[in-house]
Each structure stands twice: as C-alpha cells, then as structure tokens.
Amino acid sequence: MTEPAQYASVRYLVDDVQAAVDFYTAHLGFTLNFSAAPAFADVVRGPLRLLLSGPASSGARATPADAAGAGRNRIHLVVDDLDAETARLRSEGVEFLGDVVSGPGGSQILLTDPAGNLIELFQPAAAAR
C-alpha cells in the first residue's frame, strides 16, 4: 500500500457517493479507503487517491457555482491491453464516449463515471500491438 504522503489526490464532485464508489471499485480496480457516505468517500488505485465529494461535502460546498460541472480534465488510467479492457467494461454495461483514438503515444478511449466526470483509459504505444 502506498503511504498517504505518496498519493496523488484528485477530487471529483459526484451526485451520488455510493454510486461512484460502486463504479470505481467494480469496474476500474479501485479499493475503498474511507467512506462517510452520502457526503464523501475516497478510493485508491496504486498511488492515485480519488476523493469523491457528494453535494453535502465541504469540498462541494466550497466550489464556486460557475466552476461546478464536470470539465475536460480527467484521470488517466494506464492499461496493458486497451481492447481487452474495453471489451470487459462493455460486457459490464459501461458505455464509452466515442471509439478508441490512436496517436504516436498510444491509444485511448474516454468514459464517464455516474456523475459525468471523465476517465481516460490509455495504452502506451510501446504496449500496443
């Protein structure tokens, strides 16, 4: 387990904390670190600590109204086999935003969590077939 000071933490505002916890733990390999649902929970995957803040959390209340929606920023999760991971998630009912996009650095596809926050699954070119 990564020491708390070694985590990179990202806060996502979510409408339903438990639905977000269920999504990240069931589909993307995160583990529940702490829960104070329905206000807040945090989930961990490697050195990434994802802070899931519901409407009653202090993190959500401190956000200015004009900055409160899901934006273009996203967490970036590296996978070994993008095709296999995409097929697995589709079989679990997860929907994607478009198709796989490939470039010189690798291949990626976007999806959203239940609150609309973006997630990028990425396979580096060195690992691409």
CA distance 99 to 14: 25
Whether the pLDDT of residue 16 is over 80: the answer is: yes
Backbone φ, ψ for residue 126 (5° rounding): -60, -30
Contact 117, 28 (CB under 8 A): no
Confidence of residue 94 (pLDDT cuts 50, 70, 90): very high
Q: Could you tell me what percent of the chain has a pLDDT over 90?
A: 51
pTM: 0.75
**pLDDT value, residue 19:** 97
In the chain, the domains with their CATH numbers are: 4-127 (3.10.180.10)
Mean pLDDT of 108-122: 91
42-92 tens-digit pLDDT = 999 999 999 998 988 876 665 556 555 555 678 989 899 999 999 999 999
Q: H or E element: which one contains 121?
A: strand 118-124
Of 12-21, 58-67, 120-129, minimum mean pLDDT range? 58-67
Confidence of residue 1 (pLDDT cuts 50, 70, 90): very low
DSSP string, 37-103: TTTEEEEEETTEEEEEE-TTSHHHHTS-GGG-S--S-EEEEE-S-HHHHHHHHHHTT--EEEEEEEE
Q: Is the dihedral of CA 128, 74, 44, 10 positive or negative?
A: positive
**pLDDT value, residue 111:** 92
